[in-house]
Amino acid sequence: MAKKLNMRKRYELLTRGLGWEPTYQPKEKVFAQEAYEGIKITDWSKWEDPFRLTADAYWKYQAEKDKKLYAVMDSFAQNNAHLNLADASYVNALKLFIQGVSPLEYAAHRNFARLARQFSGEGAQIACQMQSIDELRHAQTQIHTISHYNKHFHGMHDPFHMFDRVWYLSVPKSYFDDASAAGPFEFITSVSFSFEYLLTNLLFVPFMSGAAYNGDMATVTFGFSAQSDESRHMTLGLEIIKFLLEQHEDNLPIVQGWIDKHFWRAYRLLGLVAMMQDYFLPESPMSWKEGWQIYFVENAGALFNDLARYGLRMPKYHEIATAEADHISHQVFGIFYNYIHAAAFNLGLPSEAKMNWLSEKYPDTFDKYYRPRMEMWAEMAKEGKRFFNMGLPQLCQVCQIPMGFTEIAKGEPMQVAYRVSEFRGDKFHTCSDGCKDIFDHEPEKYVNAWLPVHQIFQGNCGGATVPDVLAWYHFHPEDGGDYAGSADEARWKAMKGTAASSTAAAKTAPADAA
């Protein structure tokens, strides 16, 4: 009987020597995207896969994951398990997720397919093929899971259309478009390392744990099912960095520049997650700041300590991001409170219990800066003058988030940070040193930005009034506004058999929006 091969040997036999030297066309034409970014690869065979997962094992385990997930989804639907949620306001986190995250999964699917085609090394090709399939699976399972909620709640009916048009969804879209418009090595550094390795834990782990805490077992299951793939993707991110740095010393400054840029871009994008974490979950198992401490400060600290041998340092401005951990969720919430009449989800001022939780989690900042803001808004609302911002915000040219971040690192947390660059005679405004550096490095790229506010003023978004623009977004009038008095709240109460809230008749959008 033949001796059973060990994992290493089996893996090598099944994943190596699968390529060939092209003869009809020169290799650099077949892999036309491999050289132009300046990355030097001398020997693709040095590629080491962190997990020795062969194609047969991959399909077997993925099939099993899907089987489990769809069983949960079926029973969730059969049992009307959405009724077990802690509160329907929780669903707003799912709305932002399906609008802003699932389209990124699909974009990742397309881009990893590109990488699988453009890298000439077989090990990297296989890893990227598997990831491309994973990302498609994530988009599909998220759509399937959330489709159950779409039957009962608003704002989840057309996420892919919204993703291409809506002002706040231009934040995730522009991040991914930026990476997609770059070469394959920059893309993989951006998405696999800066986003997935450094920051994706902050999206999935505390958020899915929060879903569990709030009774949403369907989301927990798709989240953790996706995250089991994510572990593989993260290790791919780490592998690509090590591989590039081992291949040639000239790669170091290029890779460091990409890590700096995409860390900052991905971090800015996660401002939306910070808001979800601290303000959308009726019950929060962990604050944004606690998640940041565990999954970025400790984890990335250990990682970069590990990578120092290659000459790599922590991403630029990481200390600013850490200083901002005390503020960012509150500031992003503030922006959405201003403009919730133009969003496809609901939110509301935090309850007294929630504010006390925020005070406890943010002892240095919440009571001093942000509780007074909530109190002021509550007073205005009580007088029937709920504050809506009836203008349009100034947007950052790079991250496209309304420019509401402040000079925290300079010790002026209530002073909005303004940065500006001049290029070809025009001004370009950015929200931070991080975004300004990104603009200044490649201004030719960022002047192309499709900034939603400016596009509205140019007349490219369905009309001049708020309802015109919202219709062009495919929003329905009941999709946005305050949670109190929303259509979702009324429906939730009807489903639960409790009386509609006394505020149900209150306006959820400003009277003069039309």
Partner 1 sequence: MAVNCIQGDYPSINMDSVDRFHGNQLVYVGWDNHTSISTANAYPLPPDMPFGALTEAVLPSVLAPHPDFALIDWGKVQWLLDGQTFTPDMSKSLRENGVGHKSLIRFKTPELTGYKGTGN
Partner 2 sequence: MSEHKVFMIFQNTADAQPFISAFAQENSAATLDYQPGMVRIEGLGELGITQAVVSELAGREVNLQELHLTLISLSGNIDEDDDYFRITRH
Contact residues toward partner 2 (CB under 8 A) are 6-8, 50-53, 57, 61, 64-65, 68, 201, 204-206, 208-213, 220, 224, 227-228, 230-232, 234-235, 238, 285-286, 298-299, 301-303, 305-306
Smallest distance from partner 2 to CB 219, Å: 10
Rounded to the nearest 5 degrees, what angle is found at the Cα of 439, between the Cα atoms of 433 and 442?
A: 140
Indicate which of partner 2, partner 1, none lies near residue 406 (CB less than 5 to 8 Å, by partner kind). Answer: partner 1
Q: Which amino acid is at 86?
A: A
Beta bridge pairs of residue 200: none
Positions touching partner 1 (CB under 8 A) are 32-33, 36-38, 182-183, 331, 334-335, 337-338, 368-369, 372-373, 375-377, 380, 385, 387-395, 402-404, 406, 414-416, 418, 420, 424, 426-429, 441-442, 444-445, 447-451, 453-455, 457-459
By beta-carbon proximity to partner 2, the closer residue of 249 and 306 is 306
Alpha carbons within 13 angstroms on the beta-carbon side of residue 431 total 25
E strand or H helix that includes residue 427: strand 426-430
Instruction: Round to whole Å and give the CA distance between 442 and 143.
Output: 35
What residue has token string 């290790």? 235
Smallest distance from partner 2 to CB 210, Å: 7
By beta-carbon proximity to partner 2, the closer residue of 6 and 25 is 6
Smallest distance from partner 2 to CB 66, Å: 11
Largest CA distance in the chain: 85
Instruction: Round to whole Å and give the CA distance between 33 and 414.
Output: 45
Indicate which of partner 1, partner 2, none lies near residue 184 (CB less than 5 to 8 Å, by partner kind). Answer: none
By beta-carbon proximity to partner 2, the closer residue of 214 and 486 is 214
By beta-carbon proximity to partner 2, the closer residue of 57 and 504 is 57
The answer to whether 377 touches 337, Cβ cutoff 8 Å, is: yes
By beta-carbon proximity to partner 2, the closer residue of 8 and 427 is 8
Three-state secondary structure call for residue 144: helix
Smallest distance from partner 1 to CB 379, Å: 9
Q: Which of 248, 252, 265 is nearest to 442 (CA)?
A: 265
Alpha carbons within 13 angstroms on the beta-carbon side of residue 32 total 4
Indicate which of partner 1, partner 2, none lies near residue 220 (CB less than 5 to 8 Å, by partner kind). Answer: partner 2
By beta-carbon proximity to partner 1, the closer residue of 199 and 358 is 358
Based on C-alpha coordinates, what's the Rg of the chain?
Answer: 24
